[in-house]
Structure 1
Amino acid sequence: MEKNELKTTDSDNGHSPSETEKHLEHGVPVDAVNLPDPDEGLSEEERKRIDRALLWKLDLRLIPWLSLLYLMSFLDRTNIGNAKIDGLQEDLNMSNNQYNATLTIFFISYSVFEPLTQVLLKRFRPSVFLPVIMILWGICMTCMGLVHNFSGLMAARWFLGLTEAGLFPGVNYYLSCWYRRSEFGVRAAIFFSAAALAGSFGGLLAAAIVNMDGVGGKPGWAWIFILEGLATVVVATLSFWMARSCSTEKMDLQLTICQVHDFPDEAKFLSEDDRRRVIRRLKLDQQSSAEHEEFKLDYLWASLKDWKTYTGMMIYMGVDGALYAFSLFLPTIVQQMGYKSIHAQLLSVPPYAVAAVVTIFIGFVADRTRMRGYCNMVMSLFGIVGFAMLLGSGSPHVQYAGTFLGAMGIYPCIPNTISWTANNVEGVYKRGISLGFVIGWGNLNGIVSSNIYRAEDKPRYKPGHAVVLAYEAIFLLGGSVLQHVLLRRENAKRRNGERNNWVEGKTEAEIEKLGDKRPDFLYTL
């Protein structure tokens, strides 16, 4: 994020200190200065060493397990694409439209319930909420392998969307409550790279599982659902058991990273001093999300009235619509290039592997440069070129190269857009609700993605590729440019003191509650 430096008054201009300037002490928020400092009296070098050790502790406890949870989530929602090329549609006697309907119904329930889940995550604690929804979606996934007709698959997919709705926006919001804005992006990228790994791993796993065809009287595609669903239940149960029954002081690192922790102000794996350090470093970054806050409808209205909610929704629909089209249909696209079932499964692996690496790299670059908008713009160009290659060429080699560029233009922009939104929305519930709206609207576009690759358009699937190309050019690229310009204009007004009247006559507590409406809060570009 851009460093929050308020424009100081120049003596030759004759300006007196503004209300906003009074809210800062030596460039640091007063509420942060007043927090207990467990490292008082230490040198700057000692403070940096303690801060690095604290970050490393947070990374080890939070990132690996959460990434695994999302890997399983994305694997469970997209493995239907792998099942399709192994005979799912034929065995259940489904038409092409019925198959697309099973994809569509997931996104309806998934999108509708996402904003609500952000409130539930905060109220029921991550250590309870996340494992519980995982167990539920693991059961739904297992049931997908037991269905015998179209209606059964539709019901299972509906409940899969409902139960998975809380994970992705929930974890992104949760991580934003632990890290500074300039640290959040690369962690979100590492977390989301699990989605690319899920696509890569899913192809390999599916290629192995389909060899179980006939075991227990079940076809190979059914075993994809059953085994992956049961694995999800096992991981969720392990997370819940670790969170409820283990004392971190008596556990080694291998155990403690296998659980979901609560928010910083009540995290049991941190000492009292470390909890103070986390909250203090977030306050210095002008964040209040680490602390307790009661839910009020005012936070919902604040999110709905914020223009950044709608530009975020526009950007995210551009990248998410492309994401689901790519992940659901890549095996089918590769198969239509002339490759058989297992070969097509395996060839779907490399584009995802490249996307995972690029996703983490862009997360690192965006954190260092604090220019998330530019990162979105540049990467969207890769996606546009990739889908233009798929649309314009009939050569299998050119098309396959296009899938690499397409993946590179999609996957890095997902965590970068989420980080961009989280960086620019302050307040515990407002941020969670805004992320719910942005991600929910983006996922609603999975309905479009589920219906644009039609059987009658094979083997080139030109309408599908054209729609994805339009999504990336108009919404992802165009939306990123629009939001970047508007944020830059707003920052200029704040630096010039044009928003200082917002805090005139307000107390420190009232100014704090303004969140990202505080005139000294500069937006990440």
Structure 2
Amino acid sequence: MSVEKASKEHDLDTVSISEQDNVFRPDVDTSDVDERLVMRKIDWHVVPWLAVLYLLNFLDRSSIGNARLYDMQKDLHVTDKQYLIALTVFFFPYALFEPPSNIALRRLRPSRWLSFITFVWGIAMTFHGFVRDFSGLVGMRFFLGLAEAGLYPGVVFYLSCWYKRSELGTRVALFFSSATIAGAFGGLLAAAIHNMHNVGGKPGWAWIFILEGVLTSILAIASIWILSDFPDKAKFLNETERVWVVRRLQKDQQFSAGGESFKFKYVQQSIKDWKTWFAMLIYMGFDGPLYAFSLFTPTIINELGFKATAANLLSVPVYTWACIVTVAVGFLGDRIGSRMWINMVLFTIGLIGYVILIASSNAALSYFAVYLAASAIYPTIPNSVAWISGNVEGSYKRSATLGMAIGWGNLNGAVSANVYRAGDKPWYRLGHGIVLAYIVIGFLANIGYYLFIKRENAMRDAGHRDEVIEGIDNPRAHPRNGTYSSIDDAKRDKGDEWSGFRYTL
């Protein structure tokens, strides 16, 4: 009897509620649960508020690019080099704190942890408006990076604990589209807030930081009551619905959905897994361009001949278009399932966009290329998130993998924050060239990741990864793959390394 055949006997479609093995809470009858109603309830309670928090996250992080156009550097006596240093400082705590923050999120309640870090970065954002010199600006950027670190990887991991792999892309895209809205809204908001120039004796750029920071802090407090916890503890679901959600996820090869005790070996498994390192390279390929794009789009447009307010306003349609493409690609990815090929198309569009930016000396053509860049960078992120998180099983291992991949990707923001030098304006060819190199890295890593998981699936289909299961006669099983008393034990111990797990392509 093969492992694959044995595993099918434990599929939730064929296991009755009365059976005790491999069924979460076998005493609960979920036959009357309305799937569409429950999923609609989950969507409304989980996704919208996360999108609001990420809008604030991205708005607060990138608003310095808008404030720069309103004499912030001049008032703080900050040179171009010092401004780049201030941008760079943000990324080191932001990247390094992401993996431990994800572990903390898994061990603590999301409603408390995410609300806490949001409140802290709101305070840090507010104090940006009171700095008087370069050292104060650097200090605030450091604390902003430290506090913001946990939100994005935490939310991605949190969403992966609610949705099947075939559903995650759309939800991540809807959540992440708030980053594009932040880009559009940030320009409009900065232009409006600047009208408060000299109110209370403060310049307009300072009010951008103060008002956005206060808003973030207020909404962080509200998040304590609005955010839900993991499926098995969510208060907006009744007991039967919670059990149904967990069983549904376990059927989708999320064996740890019913709960998992922390063991450091799960973190070690993530570190040793080759998929983690490919994921880090893929993230590097779009996170480096993301931060260069979000921090410098107003400046680039400004240098093409448009004044400060016009440059902020002209960034609005760029981000609006990116929002539309991001949601469309997220929906498409869940429908067709082949996320590798979607990434290939997106990376290719990005390559074309930045080649044009490097070669162009025409403002209109360069502005068009900015649209191509936005079309590539933003939708690649949720598509890759859904692909990578869906191929890692074990809640702690997945949280560590996402933390490492996103952290490494964001660390490259420290590089891309320095590539658009004042001496290279107005065409910034060096900066565009470095961003192009990042996209090439992502393009190649995407191919490598696909080839390796395709080969691993083939090895499992051929039985080369079969474990020895006591009581099951499987001639292909080998002790080097592990010996277990049951299939359930193998699933929980090995996660995505279990022979019956198949990676999505």
TM-score scaled by length of structure 2: 0.93
Q: Equivalent residue for 2:54?
A: 70
Residue in 2 that maps onto 1:221: 205
Partner of 2:450: 484
Partner of residue 118 from structure 2, selected from 134, 138, 146:
134
Q: Look up the match of 1:163.
A: 147
Secondary structure, counterpart of 2:361 in structure 1: coil
Contact 1:74-1:195 within 8 A present in 2 as well = yes
Structure 1 CA distance for aligned equivalents of residues 454 and 123 of structure 2: 47
Q: CA deviation at 1:437?
A: 0.1
Aligned to 2:336: 369
Q: What is the 5 A alignment of 1:257-276?
A: 259-276=226-243
8 Å contact from structure 1 (residues 189, 415) kept in 2: yes
1:285 match: 252
Q: Does 1:181 align with 2:155?
A: no
Residues 343 and 383, structure 2, Cα contact 8 Å, conserved in 1: yes
Partner SS for 1:317:
helix
Amino acid aligned to 1:151: S
Q: How big is each residue's C-alpha offset from its partner over 1:209-246, in whole Å with a ceiling of 9 and x where there is no partner?
A: 11111111111111110000000001111112xx2xxx
State the one-letter code of the partner of 1:408: S
- In the TM superposition, what is the alpha-carbon distance from 1:506 to its structure 2 partner? 4.0
1:239 corresponds to 2:223: yes
User: CA RMSD, aligned part only?
Assistant: 1.5
Residue 523 of structure 1 aligns with an amino acid whose one-letter code is Y
**Which range moved further: 282-291 or 372-381?**
282-291
Do 1:19 and 1:504's aligned partners in 2 also have CA atoms closer than 8 Å? no
Counterpart contact for 1:337–1:459, Cα < 8 Å: yes
Structure 1 CA distance, aligned partners of 2:27 and 2:191? 55
Secondary structure, counterpart of 1:412 in structure 2:
helix
Q: Is the 8 A contact 1:379 1:410 kept in 2?
A: yes
Task: Provide the identity percentage.
Answer: 50
Give the gaps of 5 or more residues in structure 2: 16-20, 467-476
Partner of 1:36: 26
1:381 and 2:348 aligned: yes
CA contact (8 A) 1:108 1:444 kept: yes
Aligned length, in residue pairs: 485
- Aligned-residue offset at 1:147: 0.2
Question: In structure 2, what residue type is equivalent to 1:36?
Answer: P
Alpha-carbon offset, residue 191 of structure 1: 0.4
Output one character per residue of 1:393-414: Cα deviation in whole Å (capped at 9) or x when no partner. Answer: 1111100000000001100011
Unaligned runs of 5+ in 1: 1-16, 244-258
8 Å CA contact 2:89–2:141 kept in 1: the answer is: yes
Residues 203 and 22 of structure 1: CA distance in aligned 2, closer, same or farther (over 3 Å): same
| Matching residue of 2:321 | 354
Q: Residue 490 of structure 2: which of 498, 507, 511 is its match?
A: 511
Contact in 2 for aligned 1:102/1:153 (Cα 8 Å): yes
| Counterpart-to-counterpart distance in 2, 1:426 and 1:457 | 46
2:30 touches 2:244 (CA, 8 Å); kept in 1? no
Deviations 1:147-179, CA, capped at 9 Å, x for gaps: 000000000000000001110000100010011
In 2: Cα distance, 1:40 partner to 1:177 partner: 19
CA distance in 2, matches of 1:40, 1:162: 43
Given the superposition, is the C-alpha separation of residues 493 and 220 from structure 1 closer, same or farther in structure 2, using an over 3 Å criterion? Answer: same
Instruction: Tell me, in whole angstroms, the C-alpha distance in 2 between the residues paired with 1:288 and 1:34.
Output: 10
Q: Distance in 1 between matches of 2:422 and 2:31?
A: 69
The Cα of 1:34 is off from its aligned counterpart by 6.4
Q: Indicate if the aligned counterparts of 1:37 and 1:277 stay in contact, CA closer than 8 A.
A: no
Once the two structures are superposed, residues 350-373 of structure 1 have per-residue CA deviations (whole angstroms, 9 ceiling, x without a partner) of 111111111111111111111111
Question: In structure 2, how many angstroms separate the alpha carbons of the residues matched to 1:136 and 1:214?
Answer: 27
Conservation of the 8 A alpha-carbon contact between 2:177 and 2:326? yes
What amino acid is the match of 1:406?
Answer: A
- The one-letter amino acid paired with 1:170 is G
Task: Find the counterpart in structure 2 of residue 495 from structure 1.
Answer: 461
User: Following TM superposition, by how much is the alpha carbon of 1:492 offset from its aligned partner in structure 2, in angstroms?
Assistant: 1.1
Q: Deviations over 1:391-434 (max 9, x none)?
A: 11111110000000000110001111111111000001000000
Contact preservation (8 Å) 2:24, 2:247? no
Deviation at 1:522, TM superposition (A): 0.6
| Aligned with 2:181 (options 197, 200, 219) | 197
Distance (whole Å) between structure 2 residues aligned to residue 367 and residue 209 of structure 1 = 39
Who is 2:303 aligned against? 336
Distance in 2 of aligned mates of 1:311 and 1:466: 23
TM-fit CA distance, 1:288: 2.9
1:457 is matched with which residue: 421, 424, 437? 424
How many angstroms does 1:507 deviate by?
Answer: 2.3
Q: Is the contact between residue 298 and residue 312 of structure 2 (CA under 8 Å) also seen in structure 1? A: yes
- For each residue in 1:309-355, what CA deviation from the matched residue of structure 2 results, as whole angstroms up to 9, or x when unmatched? 00000000010000000000000000001000100000011111111
Match of 1:87 among 67, 71, 75: 71
On the 8 A contact 2:172/2:386 being kept in 1, the answer is yes
Task: Give how far 1:438 is off.
Answer: 0.2
- Given the superposition, is the C-alpha separation of residues 40 and 219 from structure 1 closer, same or farther in structure 2, using an over 3 Å criterion? closer
Q: Given that residues 37 and 276 in structure 1 are in contact (C-alpha distance below 8 angstroms), is that contact kept between their aligned partners in structure 2?
A: no
**1:106 aligns with one of 80, 90, 94:** 90
Does the Cα contact within 8 Å between 2:30 and 2:240 map onto a contact in 1?
no
Quick one: structure 1 residues 41 and 164, their matched pair in 2 at CA, closer, same or farther if it must change by over 3 Å?
closer
Alpha-carbon separation, structure 1, partners of 2:116 and 2:24: 38
> Match of 1:247?
none
For residue 276 of structure 2, what is the aligned residue in structure 1?
309
TM-score (structure 1 length as normaliser): 0.90
CA contact (8 A) 2:156 2:385 kept: yes
* Distance in 1 between residues matched to 2:356 and 2:82, nearest whole Å: 29
